Amino acid sequence: MKPNLVIGNWKMNGDQQTNEVLLRNVLASQTNEGHLEVAICPPFPYLASVAAHLQDTNVVLGAQNLSPATHGAFTGEVSASMLRDIGCRYVLVGHSERRALFGETNEVVAQKFAAAIEQGLIPVLCVGETLDERRAGITNSVVTTQMTAVIKHAGIEKLTRGVIAYEPVWAIGTGETASPEQAQAVHQHIRGVIGSFNKQAAIDLQILYGGSVKADNAKALFSQPDIDGGLIGGASLDAASFIAICNAARINPRGTA
Ligand code: 13P
């Protein structure tokens, strides 16, 4: 069984000075206790300096985005091999902000996912419904469609080499969190979709919850049987909050000893 996983997504926040203070505080609190891996995804310009801070610690590096292309004339883009080169282990793919604000379609997301796998990165596929979609009762089918695009492009085996993050769009940055039961229901659905292809891969898959995870709601979310950690936005910018969220995830994954 893989450990739980907590990823801090700094989004477009921070500068050299605030990053340094935040990292120093977060790293001072890291222990090897519990079944947990912690990753931090800073903005591109800070990947190298954060990588240097993380060296010889048990916190790993991730990126927030990548190009589907391998190299060449793509001004402003960053490739999977560059992310590997700088020391990334994870890369977020298809975050709802990229889908909504930068026009990323399911097909582009699938290409990015495959590009990440190709270079040995672990893509974190973000899926989730809008409020209108939830109200229309189509949450599960939206999430299935988002996963199916990757399965069609890259195949089920590659999808299971990644991580899936369920982030209901209506819960991101709003202070409104999916209840543990609402989140669990979608996580169970996601695991079920994978399980219809490969039962063992479904058991092994890490499925994270994201959307206004805070110190005071993390434990209830992470205690759900199909929630294997969190993808944390705002609260990852505050050392005390992020540390508390990490500690809430230092529990045995899905009831294993
Ligand atoms: P918040 O934790 O700020 O709601 O953001 C969640 C998110 O989008 C993480 O990727």
Measured from the CB, is residue 163 less than 6 Å from ligand 1?
no
Measured from the CB, is residue 227 less than 6 Å from ligand 1?
no
Q: pLDDT category, 256, cuts 50, 70, 90?
A: low
How many Å lie between the centroid of ligand 1 and the Cα of residue 187? Answer: 17
Distance CA 10, CA 36 (A): 19
Chain segment 49-99, per-residue pLDDT in tens? 999 999 999 999 999 999 999 999 999 999 999 999 999 999 999 999 999
Catalytically active residues are 95, 167
Please give the share of the chain, as a percent, with pLDDT higher than 70.
99
Distance CA 133, CA 35 (A): 34
Q: What value does the mean pLDDT take over residues 209-236?
A: 97
Element (H, E) at 210: strand 207-210
In the chain, the domains with their CATH numbers are: 4-255 (3.20.20.70)
Measured from the CB, is residue 245 less than 6 Å from ligand 1?
no
Under 8 Å between Cβ of 39 and 62: yes
Half-sphere exposure of 199 (CA within 13 A, CB side): 0
Under 8 Å between Cβ of 172 and 214: no
Q: pLDDT category, 257, cuts 50, 70, 90?
A: very low
Measured from the CB, is residue 9 less than 6 Å from ligand 1?
yes
pLDDT at 255: 58
pLDDT at 1: 80
- Backbone phi, psi, residue 50, to 5°: -65, -40
Question: What residue owns the CA closest to ligand 1's atom 9?
Answer: 233
Axis-axis angle for helices 47-54, 16-28 (nearest 10): 20
Ligand 1 probe mutation, 212, 237, 238, 246, most atoms within 8 A of CB: 212
